[in-house]
């Protein structure tokens, strides 16, 4: 069985579109915060920090929520 490794925080430098493509499990996090990033054609240009700022959310909190979902997933 493949061992789960903690997600590298550098994944947070990827665009929101990249994150959503690589880890669709993170979709509910965006929906919970009523963000329209899922399916948005500008998601390719914004980082998670940009998205947090757009919705006046704490970027640290949003990044931690995304990282915790990614860490539960075993895919790269």
If DSSP codes are grouped into helix, strand and coil, which group holds residue 47? strand
State which residue, 15 or 73, has the beta carbon closest to another protein: 15
User: Looking only at residues 31 through 50 of this chain, which bind another protein when binding is defined by CB under 8 A?
Assistant: 36, 40-42, 44-46, 50
CB of 39 to another protein, least distance (A): 10
Which CB atom, from 6 or from 39, has the smaller least distance to another protein?
39
Q: Rg for the chain (alpha carbons), in Å?
A: 12
> According to the binding rule CB under 8 A, does residue 54 interact with another protein?
yes
Q: How far is CA 12 from CA 1, 2, 6, 39, 68, in A?
A: 26, 23, 13, 19, 12
């Amino acid at each position: 069985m493949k061992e789960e490794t903690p997600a590298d925080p550098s994944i947070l430098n990827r665009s929101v579109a990249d994150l959503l493509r690589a880890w669709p499990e993170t979709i509910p996090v965006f929906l919970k915060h009523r963000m329209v990033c899922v399916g948005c054609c500008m998601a390719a240009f914004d980082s998670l920090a940009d998205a947090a700022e757009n919705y006046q959310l704490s970027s640290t909190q949003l990044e931690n929520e995304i990282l915790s979902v990614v860490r539960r997933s075993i895919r790269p």
